[in-house]
Amino acid sequence: MIFSAIALFGIISLYNLPIELMPTIEGGKISIITYVRGGMPSMEIEKRLAKLLEENLSDISHLKHILTVSKEGENTVVLEFEPEANMDYASLEVRERLAKIKDEFPREAERPVIFQFGYGEFPIIAVTLISNRYTPEDLRKLAEDFLKEKFLRIEGVARAEIVGGREEKIMIELDKRKLAAYNLSLQEILDIVGASNINLVGGKINQRGTKYLVRCLGEFKTIEDIRNLAIKVSEEGSLIRLKDIAEVKADFLEPRRLSRLNIHPAVTIYIYKKSLANTLKVCEAVEDLAHQLSSELGEYTYTIVSLNRAEFVKKAINQLKISLLIGSILAIGVLFMFLREYLTIVVLSLSIPFSILFVFSMMYLAKLSINTLTLAGLCLGAGMLLDSSIVVLENIFKRRESTGRLNKTDIATASEEMSVPIFASILTTIIVFLPLIFVNKEIQKLYSGIALSITFSLMGSLG
């Protein structure tokens, strides 16, 4: 009954274990990206934004290093934490700190984007949009307004990055002569435009036991709202609007990165997964959604999966699975060459799948993933799985030869006689991995998978 339960739990664990190419190493890093409108130079961003962030984030709990990169229109802060830091709590603390200082940001700064990433912070799959009718700008708008949110809803997706096409912007080109004629400065225009493009809370109204929240909606909805923005009242009493002193038009930002597919302009959505998500499941879900969207977008626009790391992961994992299977078959073949007793070989061979299922169960409880290192450890352990069974079997044969008979009591006695030597033999193998306790956390996380998979294999062979 116990063996059946372990086997069943092992099968369930096998289908729920994350599958990766390499072990997931929690990098202990949080990145904060802040975009700044107006093309502010890097020196000014460093002075007005980067130093403010460094001063307020430098004393966060378990912070190891802080790296700041400032460039035109963008500031990035990378916080690296100690291995023992709880990244969920660290992320929450970062958000609280940013909420306290948001009023001190330059008015040109947009809301900071915070995301947590580990060792393998690379896109796992990319979906490319191409069309023989629409421009890359149209495709980018489609991706930003409609497609990006769909990909973010997939379980295990951390973020989606859009590359290609030019972003929309509103250009306000001021006439210097008219500014001078109306005695207006550039800063005044900036202040008025910035103060007008916001929504404010207007308070509460209590009426007959019902509470109403009042909001003042002032955000611009169309380009005409911007053109008709009141700037000043002239001496004659007439209202001076923005369109009277400037040309307001829709335009595009200069592209930072371009995307092409088979020399044709395109827009690509790069998908990043969460650190503990299953690469194969996330890629499969994204691929299914991409095919579904291709049929929904019509005959002029379609999607192509231009990058899929899951294919390489599948190949690597499948090769190791084949090696594990071949190793098990060779081990059984060696038994057949020496024992030449079919029933005995079958009994011994059953210890291999049971031990492997036991390993998967323990890997699931230990929160490990199926990767090249854990499977390599399992391949190494596969050759050791039969050692305990062979030693016990040899002692049973000796007892049969010495007594001339064999019953359940003799088998149990022969097995008990070998329990201490087998346990000592397995312990000497496991003790080799003890030095891993004394290395740093990163090395432990990288190599603990192969050590634990071998240890679990040997533990399973005791059954």
Task: Report pLDDT digits (tens) over 252-285.
Answer: 777 777 788 888 888 899 998 876 677 888 888 9
E strands along 199-309, which residues? 199-207, 210-217, 230-233, 239-241, 246-252, 259-261, 264-273, 301-308
Tokens representing residue 412 in the block: 């149990």
Tell me if residue 332 falls in helix, strand or coil. Answer: helix
pLDDT in tens, 379-435: 777 667 777 777 777 777 777 777 766 677 777 777 777 878 878 877 887 787 777
- Cross-strand partners of 71: 74
Which amino acid is residue 292, in one-letter code? Answer: Q
* Cα 372 to Cα 24: distance, rounded to the nearest angstrom: 11
Return the closest-CA partner of residue 49 out of 95, 10, 105: 105
Q: Is 412 exposed, middle or buried (0-12, 13-18, 19+ CB in 10 A)?
A: exposed
Tokens representing residue 453 in the block: 């998979």
pLDDT in tens, 61-82: 888 888 888 888 888 888 888 7
- Across 13-27, 136-150, 184-198, 212-226, least confident range: 13-27
Under 8 Å between Cβ of 126 and 31? no
- What is the DSSP-derived secondary structure letter of residue 154? S
Which amino acid is residue 20, in one-letter code? Answer: E
**What H or E segment, with its residue span, contains residue 81?**
strand 74-81
pLDDT of residue 119: 40
Q: Which of 87-91, 115-119, 127-131, 157-161 has the highest mean pLDDT?
A: 127-131
**What H or E segment, with its residue span, contains residue 87?**
helix 87-101
Confidence of residue 120 (pLDDT cuts 50, 70, 90): very low
Query: What average pLDDT does the chain have?
Result: 80
pLDDT in tens, 421-457: 878 877 887 787 777 767 777 777 777 788 888 888 7
Under 8 Å between Cβ of 310 and 343? no
pLDDT at 36 over 80: yes
Q: How does strand 74-81 pair with strand 259-261?
A: unpaired
Return the closest-CA partner of residue 457 out of 403, 376, 398: 376
- Give the global pTM: 0.65
Under 8 Å between Cβ of 444 and 436? yes
* Cα 117 to Cα 277: distance, rounded to the nearest angstrom: 12
Return the closest-CA partner of residue 158 out of 201, 125, 109: 125
pLDDT in tens, 167-215: 778 888 888 888 888 888 888 888 888 777 777 676 778 877 788 777 7
Cα dihedral across residues 79, 83, 85, 86: positive or negative: positive
Which amino acid is residue 160, in one-letter code? Answer: A
pLDDT in tens, 358-377: 888 888 888 888 888 888 88
pLDDT at 26 over 60: no
Q: Is 206 exposed, middle or buried (0-12, 13-18, 19+ CB in 10 A)?
A: exposed
Residue count of the chain, please give it: 463
**pLDDT (mean) for 120-146:** 84
Tell me if residue 34 falls in helix, strand or coil. Answer: strand
Reported as half-sphere exposure (CB side, CA atoms, 13 A), residue 454 has a value of 20
* Cα 1 to Cα 8: distance, rounded to the nearest angstrom: 11
Confidence of residue 25 (pLDDT cuts 50, 70, 90): low
Return the closest-CA partner of residue 229 out of 201, 188, 180: 188
Cα dihedral across residues 232, 236, 239, 243: positive or negative: negative
Q: pLDDT exceeding 90 applies to what percent of the chain?
A: 3
Tell me if residue 120 falls in helix, strand or coil. Answer: coil
Confidence of residue 286 (pLDDT cuts 50, 70, 90): very high
Domains and CATH numbers, the chain: 2-21+313-461 (1.20.1640.10), 28-117 (3.30.70.1430), 168-252 (3.30.2090.10)
pLDDT in tens, 207-248: 777 887 777 777 778 888 888 888 888 777 788 888 888 888
